[in-house]
Amino acid sequence: MIQENPDITLRDKRKWLLIILAIKLMFFIYWAVHYDLYSKAGLVKNHLAVELADTDTYYNPIDTWVKQGVYPNMCRMPGLAPVYAPFYILFGKQVAYIAVIVFQFLFSTLAAYCLAIVASRMCRWRFAFQTTAVLSAMSAFVSVWDHVLLSDSLSVSFLIFSLYHFTGYFTLGKPRSLLYAGFWLTWSMFIRQIAVIGFPIALLILFIAKRKQLFELIKYASLFLLSLLVIDGWWMIRNYKQEQIFVPLVKPIADCWQSYSKPFMAINDLQITWGEDVQYWIAGSSAAWFNQASPQAKPYPFRKAIMTSICNHDSILTLQHTYAAFRTEKDSLKKNQLEEKILSKCADYKKAYIAEHAADYWLVKRGIMLGQFVFPLRHDNLPGPSFAEMNIIQKAIKSGFLLLLLLINFLAVIAMIYALFTWKKSIMAFALLPSGIITFLAVLLGYIEQRYFLPVYPFFLVIAVWFVGDVLLEKLKKKTSM
C-alpha cells in the first residue's frame, strides 16, 4: 500500500528542491568543463551542447518541418519538436541547441525532485525522500546526458513525471492524475519508444486495482490512454497518408539508415545470437573487431560455447575478411556476390549454433547479456581523458560513479527477489516496468547499450532505497532493540 508521507511539509519540499538544484548544477558545470576540454573538436557547441553521431537524425527532421512544413520521415518521432522548434524558429539552430540543454537540465532537476516524492510514497522509511533526492541529483548515470543532444535526458525526465502522477493517483485519488500520467508517458514515448512498455503495465496495475469496478476501470483507463490515442493516432494517420503503411512508432532501423546494410544487420544478428555486444564504437568489442576497415590478422576471442561443426575461430575470421572486402568493393556484381556469401554464412552459423547448443542459446547467452546490461564493468559516456591519463581526483570520481551504479543495481535486484518471495505487492508492481524493459531489451533483443538502461535506473534507485530503509534498517532496528 502506497501513501503520501505526512512528515514531508511543503517547506521541506521547497528546501530540498533547492538542494537538488545546487547538487545538479555543480555536476552540470563539472561535466560541461570536461565535455568542452576532452571532446573531439566541433562536437561541443557554445561550451554546453554536445553533438553525437545520432544528433542530426533527431533534429534535422524538425528543421525540415520548420522550413518546409513537412516532417520528412518516420525514423524518428517528433517528440523533441515542442522543446526545440520554437527556439529554432525565433533564434536559429545554435541558440535552439542551447535552449534544449537548459530545458534538459531544468526538467532533470524537477524529475529528481519528483522521484524523491515517489520514493516517499513507496517507502515507510522517514529518510527515503532525502536519500533519493541526493542520490538522484548526484548520479552521473542520468545527469551526464543533460548536456547531450539526443533523446535520453528528456525521455527519462518525462517518464519520471508520468510515474509521479501515476503513483499520485493511488495516494491522492484524483482522476486527473491519470490524465497527466498518460500525457507525460506519451511524450516520453515520442522521444524514446521503449517507454511504450509503460502503457500495458500501467493498464495491468489499473485492472488489478479496479477489476471489481468495471465502469471505473473503463473510465480511468480511458483517461490514462487519452493522450496516446489522440497524439499517436494523429502520428499513425499522418504516416499512412504519407506512405500508405501502418507505422505506430518508427520504421525498422534497417529501413532508415543506409550504413545499416544487409550484411551489417546479419553480422549484428549473428553476434546477438551468440550473446555478444554489438556496440561497434566500444573498443575491444566483437562488433568493433568485425567492423574494422581491413581484414584482421587474428581471430576474436569468442566463447568456445558458440563453436559448431561448421563454425570455428578460423571461419569467423574468414567472415570478417569477407565483410571487410564487401565494404570496400566498388564493382556492383562482386559486391552483390560478397553480400550473398555473408548472408548465407551468417544464417548457417546461426542455425548451427541454435541447433547444437540450444541450452547455451536459450539460457547461458541470455544470462550473459542480462549480466552485462545490469552490472556493467565500465561507465560509458563520462567525459574526460582516458582512465590512464586521469588525475587521482578524476579517477576517484569515475570509479565512484561506477560503484554507485553497481551498488544501486545490486540492491534493486536483491530487493525485487525479496519482494517476490515475501509478496510485497506494491514493490512487485513498481518493478514491472524496469523488469519489462530489461527483459525486452537485454534478454529478448540482446540490446545492452548503457543508455538503454537509463529509464530503468530511476526505478532501481527507488527500489534500492526501499530495500535499505524499509527492510535492512528495519530488521537491524528490531535486532538491536531485542
Cα 152 off chain centre by: 7
* CB neighbours of residue 246 within 10 Å: 8
Instruction: Encode pLDDT of 298-328 as tens digits.
Output: 999 999 999 999 999 999 999 999 999 999 9
Instruction: Encode pLDDT of 376-419 as tens digits.
Output: 988 888 888 888 888 999 899 999 999 999 999 999 999 999 99
Q: Name 14's Cβ contacts closer than 8 Å, sequence gap at least 6.
A: none
What number is the average pLDDT over the span 422-426? 94
Residue 234 has pLDDT above 80, yes or no: yes
Burial class (CB in 10 A: 0-12, 13-18, 19+), 435: middle
Identify which of 248, 121, 267, 110 has the alpha carbon closest to the alpha carbon of residue 189. 248
Q: What letter represents residue 330's amino acid?
A: K
Q: Name 320's Cβ contacts closer than 8 Å, sequence gap at least 6.
A: 289, 290, 292, 295, 296, 300
**Contact by Cβ (8 Å): 448, 373:** yes
- % of the chain at pLDDT higher than 90: 79
Instruction: Encode pLDDT of 42-74 as tens digits.
Output: 788 888 899 988 899 999 999 999 999 999 989
Helix axes 128-138, 10-38, angle to 10 degrees: 20
Structure confidence at residue 284 (pLDDT)? 87
Q: What letter represents residue 258's amino acid?
A: Q
Strand partners, 45: 49
Cell of 106: 531544468
Residue 258 has pLDDT above 90, yes or no: no
Structure confidence at residue 100 (pLDDT)? 97
343 versus 54: the higher-pLDDT residue is 343
Could you tell me the CA-to-CA distances from 298 to 286, 301, 370, 421, 439 in Å, in that order? 12, 9, 28, 48, 34
**What is the Cα–Cα distance from 196 to 150, expressed in whole angstroms?**
18
Q: What letter represents residue 164's amino acid?
A: Y
Residue 335 has pLDDT above 90, yes or no: yes
Structure confidence at residue 443 (pLDDT)? 94
Q: Which of 183-187, 216-220, 349-353 has the lowest mean pLDDT?
A: 216-220
Residue 136 has pLDDT above 70, yes or no: yes
Cα 78 off chain centre by: 18
Transcribe 352-366 into DSSP letters.
HHHHH-HHIIIIIHH
Residue 481 has pLDDT above 80, yes or no: no
CA-based torsion, 148, 149, 154, 156: positive or negative? negative
The beta strand positions in 126-255, using DSSP E, are: none
**What is the Cα–Cα distance from 105 to 103, expressed in whole angstroms?**
5
Backbone angles phi, psi at 44, to 5 degrees: -100, 125
Strand partners, 44: 50
Cell of 477: 532496528
Task: Kindly indicate the confidence band of residue 267, based on its pLDDT and cuts at 50, 70 and 90.
Answer: very high
Residue 1 has pLDDT above 70, yes or no: no
**Contact by Cβ (8 Å): 465, 119:** yes
Q: What's the chain's Rg over C-alpha atoms? A: 24
Q: What is the DSSP code (8-state) at residue 40?
A: P
Structure confidence at residue 482 (pLDDT)? 63
φ/ψ bin of 162: left (φ > 0), alpha (ψ from -120 to 50), beta (otherwise): alpha
Structure confidence at residue 39 (pLDDT)? 85
Q: Where are the domains of the chain?
A: 10-251, 258-374
**Contact by Cβ (8 Å): 181, 166:** yes
Arithmetic mean of pLDDT over the chain: 93
Task: Kindly indicate the confidence band of residue 106, based on its pLDDT and cuts at 50, 70 and 90.
Answer: very high
